[in-house]
Amino acid sequence: VDQPGTYYVAVDTWESASRAGPYAVMIDFVPVDAWRATTIARGVTLRRRIDSNLYGGRQTETVLDLDLTEPSLSLRVLEPSTCLDTTSEMGRAAGAVAAVNGGFFDTGGCESVSLVVIDGELIATNVATRSAFGIDEHGDPMIDLVAAGEDWPEADHAVGGLPRLVAGGLAAVQTESGLNASFAGRNPRTAVGITEQGNVMLAAFDGRTTAGAGLSLDELAERMVEHGAFEAVNLDGGGSTEMWIGEPMGWIANHPSDASGERRVFSAIGVFADPIERDPVWLTEPGPIMSVREGETWSYAAAIADAKGRIATFELVHYLDGRVQLEDHGDGTALISVTPIWPDGYPEQPLLSLEATTELGTVAQSINLTVVLTDDDNDGMADSWESQHGLSVGLDDADADLDGDGASNFVEFVVGTNPAVSDLASSEDMGEDVGSIERDAVEASDWTADSIGQDRESEPWDDAFEQSADVDENQSLSASEVALAQGCGCSISRPLADVSILWAIGFLVWTGRRQRPCSKLGDSEGDAGS
């Protein structure tokens, strides 16, 4: 895919007419004429690129950069469990994080024609004097000529190749036994290189398919130098060329050209390193702020992915009074449904936290949900609250005092007391009696001029604290004033008792179809409590 657009992936895993078989799908993006790099393990970086026109044709390059300064990283030569195995089978069986195919072998039997050394043991020898790649007992890489039938004593692990491509940082294909025009021409290629700093690169170049035209040995040598190789050797290629990546679910990073897909081979080079533990990644976002009308249902389908396929369990943390449901589907997805009721969302905006937990830990996602309360009579009080307490939802009865306790229905709505029971004045939580609450129109400039140093247009506001007692006469708000202000959502700080200050508290309560100020208050009684 090298053009923008919509593409579809069909997965056919049906085991019978009535049942689909298990499957896993991974879609990876490889850019055109640009590199895409991914760290797959500690010290192991996978780079991939599609060249639109390299050496006169389309090419696909897949390179593993191995930082041997990473303590957990090592290279080992792998062998088949029976006669021959695919590179992926050998890599998976050994627990490698990646692998590439190794040396040459007899495709008609079970014999290697290239050197193979595993854990210091000579498994097979070169049929002719040829270059080989090895790892010594200290884990350091090396490339050298190894004679036919001979061991390589310095190598703890080794695999034979043909021929040497790069020496001393220069592209120089050496003449070795087995070279011919067909072999030297364009083919799929696997190569291993050593940088001047002593690190290793494993490379696969596609050929014989639409993914790539393949490279000649000379082109391969040039390309390995461009990738930073100071020394390099060609390994078995053609239909054997394969790079397998073990994370996250085991996949082939290049495009094998063998008719069977993956060719069975005699050896492979395995990469071993500690994994990079990654937190699960959210695949969905709920949005910055959502709103839902009281009594209606808001839903959110959440999904999370784990790099190793571990299934996350979900938990929803919330403080809502309404109906909240969490359906954990057990496959990394969940459905959250919220049906708010009074007093959800008043006066605060409710916050929910959706948590997903795997064996690595927990990641959370915040959900900001604004509840829109219904107020058909535009009296500033939620219809559900009015219905709950026997008030009219079709009549503006905010100023009425249903229970006759001196607090209007609206004030009781704000404070959170029962308008049908005379509980406001006697409540221990409210402290002193609120007394009768009257409306005293004052100009906004009474309380704004001193605080911001400017006059504003005269505007009437409610003095909701008229006749509120200030028993201790400490030039502060009474307990009832504090409770009422906090009920409206105000943050209140008390001044020192010996400091004369004009208290000015301005705030607006929840707005339905009209705005009702809880108060922008003057100080008509002179008790320093507006």
Q: What is the pLDDT of residues 188-205, one digit of tens each?
A: 999 999 999 999 999 999
Q: Which of 372, 403, 428 is the last residue of a domain?
A: 372
Asked whether residue 228 falls in the same domain as residue 349, the answer is no
Q: In which band, very low, low, confident or very high, does the pLDDT at 454 lie, cut at 50, 70 and 90? A: very low
Domain identity same for 45 and 168: yes
- Please, which residues have CB within 8 angstroms of residue 468's CB and are 6 or more apart in sequence? 432, 434, 435, 437, 478, 480, 481, 484, 525, 527, 529
Question: Who wins on pLDDT, 368 or 472?
Answer: 368
Answer whether 0.85 is exceeded by the pTM.
no
Both 121 and 263 in one domain: the answer is yes
356 lies in some domain: yes
In angstroms, rounded to a whole number, what is the distance separating the alpha carbons of residues 83 and 136? 27
Residue 320 domain boundaries: 281-372
- Give how far Cα 309 sits from Cα of 18, 29, 101, 248, Å: 26, 19, 26, 7
The answer to whether 270 and 94 have CB atoms below 8 angstroms apart is yes
Say how far apart CA 524 and CA 530 lie, in whole Å.
7
pLDDT at position 348: 56
Hey, what long-range contacts does 440-443 have (CB within 8 A, 24 or more apart)? 440/466, 440/522, 440/524, 442/521, 442/522, 442/524, 443/522
> Regarding predicted confidence, which is higher, 318 or 401?
401
Which pairs count as long-range contacts for 107-113, CB under 8 Å and 24+ apart, including other chains? Answer: 109/83, 110/83, 110/84, 110/266, 111/266, 112/160, 112/266, 112/267, 113/160
- The residue ranking higher by pLDDT, 502 or 413, is 413
Higher pLDDT: 456 or 153? It is 153
% of the chain with per-residue pLDDT over 70? 77
Q: Is the pLDDT of residue 440 over 60?
A: no
CATH of the domain at 365: 2.60.40.10
Q: In this predicted structure, what is the pLDDT of residue 34?
A: 95
Q: Are residues 84 and 59 in the same domain?
A: yes
- Give the burial class of 452: count Cβ atoms within 10 A of its Cβ; 0-12 exposed, 13-18 middle, 19 or more buried: exposed
Q: What is the mean pLDDT of residues 54-63?
A: 98
User: For position 243, what pLDDT does the model report?
Assistant: 99
Q: pLDDT at residue 497 above 90? A: no
> Could you tell me if 312 and 417 lie in one domain?
no
Q: How many CB atoms lie within 10 A of CB 422?
A: 17
Judge whether 156 lies within some domain: yes
In a domain, 25, yes or no: no
Task: Band the pLDDT of 138: cuts 50, 70, 90.
Answer: very high
Comparing 125-139, 322-336, 362-376, 469-483, the range with the smallest average pLDDT is: 469-483
Q: How confident is the model at residue 59 (pLDDT cuts 50, 70, 90)?
A: very high
Burial class of residue 126 (count of CB atoms within 10 Å of its CB; 0-12, 13-18, 19+): buried
pLDDT tens-digit profile of 147-168?
A: 999 999 999 999 999 999 999 9
pLDDT at 147: 98
Final residue in a domain of this structure, among 314, 340, 372: 372
Statement: residue 317 has pLDDT above 50: yes
Judgement on whether residues 96 and 234 belong to the same structural domain of the protein? yes
According to DSSP, the residues that pair with 401 across neighbouring strands are: none
pLDDT digits (tens, 9 = 90+) for 244-255: 999 877 899 999
Q: Which carries the bigger pLDDT value, residue 250 or residue 27?
A: 250
pLDDT of residue 280: 87
Averaged pLDDT, 99-114? 96
CB 507 within 8 A of CB 490: yes
Structure tokens at 319: 């403080």
Identify whether residues 359 and 506 lie together within a single domain.
Answer: no
Assess whether pLDDT exceeds 50 at residue 128: yes
* Model confidence at 316: pLDDT above 90: yes
Report yes or no on 10 lying in a domain.
no
Domain boundary among 239, 272, 305: 272
* pLDDT over 90 percentage in the chain: 55
Q: Are residues 350 and 467 in the same domain?
A: no
Give the DSSP letter of residue 215: B
Mean pLDDT of 102-109: 95
The residue among 67 and 305 whose pLDDT is bigger is: 67
Q: What is the pLDDT of residue 464?
A: 33
433 has pLDDT over 70: no
Are the C-beta atoms of 127 and 115 separated by less than 8 Å?
no
pLDDT surpassing 90 at residue 221: yes
Same domain, 308 and 420: no
Asked if residue 488 belongs to a domain, the reply is yes
pLDDT value of residue 503: 25
Q: Which two tokens stand for residue 20?
A: 């689909």
356 with 478, same domain?
no
Q: What is the pLDDT of residues 352-397, one digit of tens each?
A: 899 999 888 899 999 888 888 888 899 988 888 898 899 999 999 9
Query: Span 490-507, mean pLDDT?
Result: 30
Asked if residue 356 and residue 413 are part of one domain, the reply reads no
Structural domain count, the chain: 3
Residue 340 is assigned to a structural domain of this protein: yes
Q: Out of 115-119, 362-366, 419-423, which region has the weakest mean confidence (pLDDT)?
A: 419-423
Same domain, 300 and 385: no
Residue 12 maps to a domain: no
How far apart, in Å, are the Cα atoms of 242 and each of 27, 78, 216, 254? Answer: 18, 14, 17, 6
DSSP string, 6-54: --------BSSSS-BPP---------BSS-EEEEEETTEEEEEEEEEEE
